Chain A
Amino acid sequence: MTNLLKNTLWLLIAVVGAAAIGGIALNRGESINALWFVTAALCVYAIAYRFYAAWIAATVLTIDETRATPAERLDNGHDFTPTNRWVVFGHHFAAIAGPGPLVGPTLAAQFGYLPGTLWILLGAVLGGCVQDMVILFLSTRRNARSLGQMARDELGRLGGNAALIGTFAIMIILIAVLGLVVVNAMKHSPWGTFTVSATIPIAMLVGVYMRHLRPGQVLEASALGVALLLLSVAAGGWVDSNESWRALFDHEGLTLAWAVMLYGFAAAILPVWLLLAPRDYLSTYMKLGTITLLAVAIVLLQPDVKMPAITQFVDGTGPIFGGKLFPFVFITIACGAISGFHALISSGTTPKLLANERDIPMIGYGGMALESLVAIMAMIAATVLEPGVFFAINSPAGVVGKEAVDAVAKISAWGFPVTVEQMQHLAQQMGEATLFARTGGAPSLAVGMASIFGSAFGDGLLALWYHFAIMFEAIFILTTLDAGTRVGRFMLQDMLGNIWPKMAETSWLPSMLISSALVVSGWGYFLYIGVIDPNGGVNILWPLFGIANQMLAAIALCVATGILVKSGKLNYAWVTGVPLLWLIIITSTAAWEKLTSADLRIGFFAAANDLQDKLAAGLLPPEKAGVAPQLIFNLHLDAGLTLFFVAILWLIVFDMLRVCGRYLTGKPVLPLSETPHSPSSLIEEWVRD
Chain B
Amino acid sequence: MISKLKNLWRVIRRLSGDDAYERYLVHYAQHHHAETEAPPLSKAEFFKQWQDSKWQGIKRCC
Contact = CB atoms under 8 A, between A and B. Distances in A.
Interface of A: 77-79, 81, 83-84, 86-87, 90-91, 95-100, 146, 174, 178, 210-211, 215-219, 222, 272-273, 276-277, 280-281, 335, 339, 341-342, 344-345, 348-349, 479-480, 483-484, 487, 549
B7 to A, nearest CB: 8
Nearest to B20: A216
Nearest to A486: B55
Interface string B1-23: 00000000001111111101101
Given A216-B46, A480-B61, A272 B51 contact: yes
A483 B46 contact: no
B58 A78 contact: no
B12 A349 contact: no
B60 A484 contact: yes
Interface in B14-56: 14-18, 20-21, 23-24, 27-28, 31, 43-44, 46-56
B43 A216 contact: yes
Interface of B: 11-18, 20-21, 23-24, 27-28, 31, 43-44, 46-62
A345 B16 contact: no
Given A84-B11, A345-B61, A281 B52 contact: no
Contact of B47 (A96, A210, A348, A484): A210
Contacts of B60: 95, 98, 280, 479-480, 483-484
A91 B20 CA distance: 14
Contacts of A222: 16
Contact of B24 (A77, A91, A276, A335): A77
Contacts of A277: 51, 54-55
Contacts of A483: 58-60
B19 to A, nearest CB: 9
Given A216-B43, A280-B60, A78 B14 contact: no
Contacts of A81: 23, 27
Contacts of A99: 62
B20 to A, nearest CB: 7
Given A78-B49, A81-B23, A549-B62, 19 more contacts: A77-B27, A78-B53, A81-B27, A95-B61, A100-B61, A146-B57, A210-B47, A216-B21, A218-B17, A218-B20, A272-B55, A277-B51, A281-B16, A342-B61, A345-B58, A479-B60, A483-B60, A484-B60, A487-B57
A471 B61 CA distance: 18
Contact of A97 (B48, B49, B56, B61): B61
B32 to A, nearest CB: 9
A96 B20 contact: no
A348 B18 contact: no
A349 B56 CA distance: 10
Contacts, number: 104
B62 A349 contact: no
Contact of B51 (A77, A178, A211): A211
Contacts of A480: 60-62
A369 to B, nearest CB: 16
A273 B52 contact: yes
Interface of A is mostly: helix
Nearest to B50: A78
Contacts of A86: 11
Contact of B61 (A77, A78, A96, A348): A96
10 contacts: A77-B27, A97-B61, A98-B61, A211-B51, A219-B16, A273-B51, A339-B61, A480-B60, A487-B57, A549-B62
A219 B31 contact: no
Given A216-B21, A216-B43, A272-B52, A344 B13 contact: no
A95 B47 contact: no
Nearest to A342: B61
B11 A100 contact: no
B61 A215 contact: no
Nearest to B13: A219
Contacts of A484: 60
A84 B28 CA distance: 19
Contacts of A219: 12-13, 16, 18
Contact of A90 (B15, B43, B49): B15
B62 A100 contact: yes
Contacts of A97: 61
Between A86, A99, A216, A217, the greatest number of chain B beta carbons within 10 A of the residue's beta carbon is seen for A216
A81 B19 CA distance: 14
Between A219, A222, A335, A344, the greatest number of chain B beta carbons within 10 A of the residue's beta carbon is seen for A219
Contacts of A344: 58, 61
A483 B62 CA distance: 11
A341 B61 contact: yes
A210 B58 CA distance: 22
A83 B11 CA distance: 11
Nearest to B7: A689
A348 B13 contact: no
Contacts of B13: 219
A348 B56 CA distance: 11
A95 B51 CA distance: 16
Contacts of A83: 14
Contact of B55 (A146, A211, A276, A345): A276
A558 to B, nearest CB: 19
